[in-house]
Amino acid sequence: MTRTILLVDDHPIVRAGCQRLLAEAALGRVVEAEDVGSALDRWRAERPDVVILDLNIPGEGGGMAVLRAIQAESPAVPVLIFSMHEDPAIAARTLKAGARGYVTKNDAPDSLASAIGTVLAGRIHLDNGLARELALMTLTPTADPLAGLTQREREILGLVGRGLTTAAIADRLGISQKTVANACTQIKDKLGADSARALIRIAIDSGLAD
């Protein structure tokens, strides 16, 4: 019986590359979607055996909304996150939400096909480096780390924690990318964060990314 794979990504070049890789691996028939709405429509129409899901797709809630919907309707179907984000905090958040694996777009090309095989076999897929970081990652709670942030800064921090890009945040909030970038700089200064990765962890730890 031929398997069906649902590939959800908003970049046509990425989808085309994945199509070639999966065709070479002969893993099954691949159907595509590019945003939250089309992903859920395709999911319900095709009932695929496995879903490859980018987090940063257009639509309310992005890829996490798709993951949660699939988990609510068919938790046994494996969802493999395919993301540009390498932060273990984001990977941990998706696994907690029900994803069965996490592959970054910087991984070796054959890692995607290998990951699909792993999750279809009922196992969790993480590369060794990411698994080690997850195991070593410690979260240190603070009393009220966000006390100095404005409501708008909290909102932007929450979207950063969900993995949205500067452009996606600007589009979501109806503001310029420069305004978002400046706000992120101010947030870093207020929280003593030295990178976007640190902001993501703070957002997740504080519950703003949920």
Q: Select from 35, 32, 36 the least CA-distant residue to 19.
A: 32
- pTM equals 0.69
pLDDT higher than threshold 90 for residue 192: no
pLDDT greater at residue 100 or residue 196: 100
Q: Given this model, what pLDDT does residue 137 score?
A: 66
Contact (Cβ atoms closer than 8 angstroms) between residue 77 and residue 119: no
| Helix pair angle (88-96, 62-73), 10° resolution | 30
First to last CA, the chain: 38
| Residues belonging to the chain | 210
Fold of 151-205: Arc Repressor Mutant, subunit A (1.10.10)
Neighbours of 95 (CB within 10 A): 17
Q: Is 169 helix (H, G, I), strand (E, B) or coil?
A: helix
Q: Given this model, what pLDDT does residue 147 score?
A: 77
Each domain of the chain, given as residue ranges in start order, spans 4-136, 151-205
**How many H helices and E strands in the chain?**
10, 5
Fold of 4-136: Rossmann fold (3.40.50)
131 — pLDDT class (breaks 50, 70, 90): confident
Instruction: Round to whole Å and give the CA distance between 151 and 64.
Output: 23
Q: Select from 106, 94, 134 the least CA-distant residue to 14.
A: 106
